[in-house]
Amino acid sequence: MEQDARYADAGVSPERGQTTPKRDKQNQAILLDTLEQEIAKLRECNSMIDLNSLFSEAKVYHSKLVNIRKEMITLHEKTSKLKKRALKLQQQRHKEVLEREQQRERELERERQLTAKPAKRT
């Protein structure tokens, strides 16, 4: 009787050494649990692969951003130089215009001085 209880707990019939439906269900449940664990591990591996690809992509975009930043710094320096040069040219042109006006005024003044003035009668 004791022996029959052990066989019943194990799901094996003592007569033939075959499994019982109860034992089959237990084995099936164990297999399903194991399978679900393996699937979870595979999903985790896939998500790690996805993370690795995302990190690789992030590195690529980071290097692109660094290059854009360098280019922006270079362009800023060039525009600063051009603005400085444009201001210098504008000041030079303004100076030339003033000098021409002053030259015209001097010429006009000289013309006035050279024109004959009527003598004052005394």
Give the span between the Cα atoms of 105 and 98, in whole angstroms: 10
Give the tokens for residue 107.
């010429």
10 Cβ contact partners less than 8 Å away, ≥ 6 residues apart: 23
Give the span between the Cα atoms of 39 and 33, in whole angstroms: 10
pTM of the predicted structure, to 2 decimals: 0.49
pLDDT digits (tens, 9 = 90+) for 36-90: 999 999 888 888 888 888 899 999 999 999 999 999 999 999 999 999 999 999 9
Contact 18, 12 (CB under 8 A): yes
Longest dimension (CA), the chain: 168
Contact 26, 11 (CB under 8 A): yes
| Range 10-39 average pLDDT | 80
Choose between 49 and 7: higher pLDDT: 49
